Amino acid sequence: MRKVIEVNNLTKEYKLGTIGRGTLYRDLQSLWARIRNKEDPNSIIGKSDISSFDKKSFLALKSINLDIFEGEIIGIIGANGAGKSTILKILSKITGPTEGIIKIKGRIASLLEVGTGFHTELTGRENIYLNATMNGLSIKEINKKVDDIIDFAGLEQFIDTPVKRYSSGMFVRLGFAVAAFLEPDILIVDEVLAVGDANFQKKALNKIESVSKNKKRTVLFVSHNMDAVEKLCTSVIILDKGRVIDKGPTKNMIEKYLNEKNDIRKKFKKITWEKSELNPGGNIVRLNSIETKNSNNIIIEDFLCNEEVIIETNFTVLKKGFQISCLLEFYCNDKLIFQTFDDYINGEWGKQKNYDLGDYKSTCIIPKNIFKIGIIDINIIIFIPPGSYHDSYQVSYPTKSIGAISFNIKDIETFDKSSGSYPFNLNKDAIINPKVDHKIKKI
Amino acid sequence: MKNNKDNWDTIIDTKRSLFDISFFFNLYKYRDLIYMFVKRDFVTFYKQTILGPLWYIVQPLVNTLVFTVIFGNLAKLPTDGLPPFIFYMAGNVIWAYFAACLNLTSNIFVANAGLFGKVHFPRLTVPIANVIISLLQFAIQFIIFTLFLMYFIYSGSDITLSFNVLYLPLILFYVAFASLGFGMLISAITAKYRDLTFAMSFLIQLWMYVTPIVYPLSLVPDNYRIFVALNPMTSAVEIFKYIFLGESSITSNDIIIGLLVTILVFIFGFFAFNRVEKNFMDTV
């Protein structure tokens, strides 16, 4: 395979605080003081040395070395501030490196933001030309592609309307469509697919994929959306605090990244809140605590795979006369694996007894031999029936799927588990691993 | 070793080469972008309310009237024997083009920070497009000027038009070139020193008064002449007056000095601009 990008010892330093002295007045003041051999009025006290002024700095990238080959779709993942966007900015020549050298083969186009430079007064068509010429295409080249672009964006009807009349979705579609048809040798994409509807996201991902596969284009893709990274990328680079932690096959890297991330952010065993208005919830129901217990009623975080998992949720009802139903969502690697419903489902939705004021406990027992080995996260949702999904929920904790509380499912040595004596790993795509009645008999 | 190097199309490193021949090649490659920028600004101009274009007409008229009253009638400054109104207007029209270009160019980084932070293209395309679109303003004001010129000619003033007026494009090119040079230089400085941005309109105003617009060049004493000649706008304004009004005491010496200063400033401004361009985004 041909190497298309070679990054050597790339370092990027940002100065913190004010840059230089910021104003001509102060610079002249310092200069004047030095001419008269007086102390610089702008220097830090005790340090007459000018250069000490600029010492506060921050390394966004620290000695990065990377080789990227033709046809690769590289996902770059990492927490905020890991340096993902900085790498892309340097590669797209928006800012220069502090140290190091980057060598590139072929034409680069970057999509750091959808619809950069779009002018609201111009029509969609005019903006296609403006945006594409900004990326180095000539008008002649665009003439050949403009119909495909309009078609891909699905904007035939509105293409001669000023983009100020566009919905945000149309805006995004147009912006992405232009970038998709730039046909560079290397395409750089920064978290732009977070916008747009699911359908278009899918279309965009497919487009990136097909461009790379059919035409041997290289793609660098930054995203927090692990599903998109997993679907699209052939390999993944993990960045953390300006360093490359690892590079390798997508699946392994995503798992590694999520596990590392989890260790920091996840809460185990039990979380409690002081009884106050800050507890998760609304004006009717508020959470007090969540805990995970084994069948001996002991609060633990590590469960064996052949153990029951009991999740207890304590909440307070603050207003009389409402019905309550509690739902749990179980996540593994940020993917929803299943949901459970409380005994409210035994009756009819919206027609059950009202709750009195006071504290309540919901207990959910997950039978043994259900989960795969790994970390499971739980979200808690409490509904106030009747009403539709959206207007009846009162508690949704946490609001994003990192898990309100988590527990760990561990493997055991004996055969008393779902996979029994199977010596090999189960397919990684399986999300649960229940033990069911499954026998083979001679008939 | 050489072969190895040739394999790569782009090399990004920390070297700040002052002069890079590929720069001009790039600029040429992006000529369509310049066209699109001009088109964009034209469409925006076109879609503006009536007040925007009207301002272009009102501005030189009001300036000219004020100058005529203050410098012509009250201060009684000579105007090389020309009707004061048309004398001031000529200076005003060509100066307004320079001021507009200079203002736009010197503010280029700050005004386009959002765009420059997201996509790379030769930054010089923006000021070049600016000097082209500013021709629109010039054209409007020039038409007003021509109307008044016609009026003065028909009402018997001592003005005769010659084929010298065909030099106009050359003057415009020179003014655009000078404004780009100074603009690039100032933009590189304003990128670092923000306080200069606020001083710009004041500086441009001041600059106008050291340019022979409200007074004729012939009024300048000989021992100050060299300082006035160092100002590239002196020759631009004087030649403009010469080709349309037929009066000026500009000498070829003055023109050569002005031209040399312009070229020097352009080269210097170009280097400064290139240097700032690379890492400007870090300081916004």
A420 part of a folded domain: no
CB contact under 8 A, B43 and A121: yes
- CB A443: neighbour CB atoms within 10 A? 3
Task: Label residues B238-266 b or e (16+ Cβ within 10 Å = b).
Answer: bbbbbbbbebbebeeebbebbeebbeebb
Name which of B39, B119, B185, B202 to mutate to probe chain A: the one with the most chain A Cβ atoms within 10 A of its Cβ: B119
Name which of A63, A118, A121, A190 to mutate to probe chain B: the one with the most chain B Cβ atoms within 10 A of its Cβ: A121
Task: Label residues A88-106 b or e (16+ Cβ within 10 Å = b).
Answer: bbbbbbbbbbbbbbbbbbb
At B97 the pLDDT is 95
B111 part of a folded domain: yes
Helix (H/G/I), strand (E/B), else coil: A279: coil
B14 part of a folded domain: no
B137 part of a folded domain: yes
Q: Are residues A235 and A341 in the same domain?
A: no
- Residue position matching structure tokens 């349309």: B244
Total domains in the fold of chain B: 1
Residue B188 CA to residue B200 CA, distance in Å, equals 13
Task: Label residues A404-441 b or e (16+ Cβ within 10 Å = b).
Answer: bbbbbbeeeeeeebbbeeeeeeeeeeeeebebeeeeee
Q: Are residues A105 and A228 in the same domain?
A: yes
Residue B135 CA to residue B100 CA, distance in Å, equals 10
A357 part of a folded domain: yes
A430 part of a folded domain: no
At A412 the pLDDT is 82
Option in A92, A101, A122 nearest B120 (CB): A92
**What angle, rounded to 10 degrees, do the helices at B195-210 and A24-35 form?**
80
A384 part of a folded domain: yes
State residue A48 phi and psi, 5-degree precision: -90, -15
A210 Cα to chain B: minimum distance (Å): 24
B242 part of a folded domain: yes
Query: Could you tell me if B192 lies within 8 Å of chain A, comparing CB atoms?
Result: yes
A3-15 and A99-104 strand pairing: antiparallel
Q: Which amino acid, A70? A: E
Q: Which domain holds residue A259?
A: 70-264
Q: Are residues A189 and A237 in the same domain?
A: yes
Which residues of chain A make contact with B32, given a CB cutoff of 8 A? 133, 137-139
- Residue-wise DSSP of A324-366: -EEEEEEEETTEEEEEEE-GGGGS-TT-SPPBPSEEEEEEEEE
pLDDT in tens, chain A (443 residues): 788 888 888 888 887 655 455 566 777 777 777 777 766 666 555 444 444 444 567 788 888 888 888 888 898 888 877 888 888 888 888 888 888 888 888 888 888 877 777 888 888 999 999 999 988 889 999 999 899 899 988 888 889 988 888 887 888 888 888 888 888 888 888 876 666 667 777 788 888 888 777 778 888 888 877 878 888 888 899 888 888 888 888 888 888 887 776 665 667 788 888 777 777 888 888 888 899 999 998 988 889 888 899 999 999 898 888 888 888 989 887 788 899 988 888 888 888 888 889 899 999 999 988 988 888 888 888 888 887 666 677 777 776 656 778 888 888 877 888 878 777 666 667 888 888 888 899 98
Give the DSSP letter of residue A186: E
A435 part of a folded domain: no
B27 part of a folded domain: no
B51 part of a folded domain: yes
A358-366 and A374-383 strand pairing: unpaired
Query: Are the CB atoms for B121 and A92 separated by under 8 Å?
Result: no
Q: Which amino acid, B272? A: A
Q: Are residues A244 and A170 in the same domain?
A: yes
Give the DSSP letter of residue A97: -
At A277 the pLDDT is 74
Q: Are residues A164 and A306 in the same domain?
A: no
Q: Are residues A230 and A363 in the same domain?
A: no
Quote ipTM for the complex.
0.84
- A276 to each of A73, A279, A282, A318, A436, how far by Cα in Å? 49, 6, 11, 11, 44
B106 part of a folded domain: yes
Q: Which residues pair with A374 in a beta bridge?
A: A409
Q: Closest Cα to residue B123, out of B15, B275, B265, B263?
A: B275
A346 part of a folded domain: yes
Total domains in the fold of chain A: 3
A233: CATH: 3.40.50.300
**What angle, rounded to 10 degrees, do the helices at B22-29 and B31-47 form?**
50
Query: Are the CB atoms for A307 and A292 separated by under 8 Å?
Result: no
When the pLDDT of each residue in chain B is averaged and rounded to a whole number, the result is 86
Q: Are residues A29 and A75 in the same domain?
A: no
Residue A349 CA to residue A389 CA, distance in Å, equals 12
Q: Are residues A254 and A280 in the same domain?
A: no
Beta carbons within 8 Å of B148's beta carbon, 6+ residues apart: B85, B86, B89
Q: Are residues A282 and A161 in the same domain?
A: no
Q: Which amino acid, B113? A: A
Query: Could you tell me if B203 lies within 8 Å of chain A, comparing CB atoms?
Result: no
Summarize pLDDT for B244-274 with one digit per residue, the tens.
Answer: 988 788 888 889 999 999 999 999 998 888 8
User: For chain B, where are the alpha helices, taking DSSP H only?
Assistant: 2-6, 22-29, 31-47, 51-67, 84-106, 108-111, 113-116, 125-154, 168-192, 195-210, 222-230, 232-245, 252-279
A349 part of a folded domain: yes
Domain end point (choices A235, A264, A293)? A264
pLDDT band per the 50, 70, 90 thresholds, residue B284? low
Q: Are residues A92 and A39 in the same domain?
A: no
Q: Which domain holds residue B271?
A: 47-283
Q: Are residues A185 and A315 in the same domain?
A: no
Give the DSSP letter of residue B166: G
The two structure tokens encoding residue B113: 């920070």
Option in B8, B32, B192 nearest A133 (CB): B32
B4 part of a folded domain: no
Domain end point (choices A211, A238, A264)? A264
The two structure tokens encoding residue B271: 């280097």
Q: Are residues A208 and A304 in the same domain?
A: no
Summarize pLDDT for B216-226 with one digit per residue, the tens.
Answer: 888 888 888 88
Q: Quick one: what percent of chain B has pLDDT higher than 90? A: 40
Summarize pLDDT for B86-135 with one digit per residue, the tens.
Answer: 999 999 999 999 999 999 998 888 888 888 888 888 888 999 999 999 99
A390: CATH: 2.70.50.60
Name which of A95, A143, A191 to mutate to probe chain B: the one with the most chain B Cβ atoms within 10 A of its Cβ: A95
A431 part of a folded domain: no
Torsion angle of C-alpha atoms A13, A17, A19, A20, degrees rounded to 10: -110
